[in-house]
Amino acid sequence: MVYIALIAAAFFFFGSADLGVAGIYRYVDENGVIHFTNCPKDPKFQLHIRESKEDVGKEPPPPALGPSNPLTAVSALNPPAPSAPAFSLIDPDPSMDSNNFESFIIEFAKKYGVDSALIKAMIRAESGFNPYAVSRKGAKGLMQLMPETALRMNVSNVFNPKENIEGGVRYFKYLLSLFNNDVRLSLAAYNAGENIVAQLGTIPPYRETVDYVRKVLNYYRSYKQ
């Protein structure tokens, strides 16, 4: 049985020649234990995920979401490998009215047992309530589903608001169950992919992912008021 050992890593790369290419490095020792770091000091570590300096940021401190949304630590997991969405963080289009989708948000949040205010915050961060939004990486619709994820969630028309919202909520519910209802890790997995979050046991040090989690939680708090 392989056990995953997570090595604490700094979230800024300083460009030192000793660090080599910025990214996450991986090494499997003689006992089968997997080690990760972004500051390799041993030549045994091999580049696992390449990352540019511009994509690295600090992880925000855990926000207080209240007793209804406890933030719990996730254990090391080895989940299946679906295609993770790749999202662009955008501000809401003032011409788009979130109320147009309120009934769908409430319906599917209730169906899958997710806070509707959190789903609304995710849609605001994902697409700015634009049902026809397409990211540079191919994520589509209100909840910016990648084609593989849409297929996995049985979404036949990603530009149909009802189908897209149900697919996104269903996928996020799956992530919550995967990460022991840890909202922050589930949001990070929605953005960066569930496998990397499971391997690291924390929010990956990608600026886009860190910003995404912070942005969604800020919107969430405003909708809860």
Residue of 30, 51, 54, 126 with catalytic role: 126
Instruction: Please state, for a pLDDT cut of 90, what percent of the chain lies above it.
Output: 55
Residue range 66-72: average pLDDT?
Answer: 33
Position 42 scores a pLDDT of 75
Query: Could you tell me which residues come within 8 angstroms of residue 121 by beta carbon, excluding any fewer than 6 positions away?
Result: 216, 217, 218, 219, 220, 222, 223
**CA-CA distance, 97 to 93, in Å (whole number)?**
8
- The full set of domains in the chain, from first to last, is 4-55 (no CATH), 98-224 (1.10.530.10)
pLDDT of 214 over the 80 cut: yes
126 flagged as catalytic: yes
pTM, to two decimals: 0.63
Position 95 scores a pLDDT of 46
* Contact yes or no for 167/145 (Cβ under 8 A): yes
pLDDT of 103 over the 80 cut: yes
Residue 154 burial (10 A CB sphere; 0-12, 13-18, 19+): exposed
Q: How do residues 114-157 score in pLDDT, each as one tens digit?
A: 999 999 999 999 999 999 999 999 999 999 999 999 999 999 99
Angle between helices 102-112 and 161-178 (to 10 degrees): 30
Position 10 scores a pLDDT of 36
Q: How confident is the model at residue 92 (pLDDT cuts 50, 70, 90)?
A: very low
First to last CA, the chain: 47
Position 136 scores a pLDDT of 93
Q: How confident is the model at residue 111 (pLDDT cuts 50, 70, 90)?
A: very high
SS3 213: helix
Position 47 scores a pLDDT of 72
Q: How do residues 10-59 score in pLDDT, each as one tens digit?
A: 333 333 334 445 567 676 777 666 666 666 777 777 776 655 434 433 33
Bridge partners, residue 26, by sequence:
36, 46
Position 225 scores a pLDDT of 83
Q: Tokens for 149? A: 């994820």
Mean pLDDT of the chain: 75
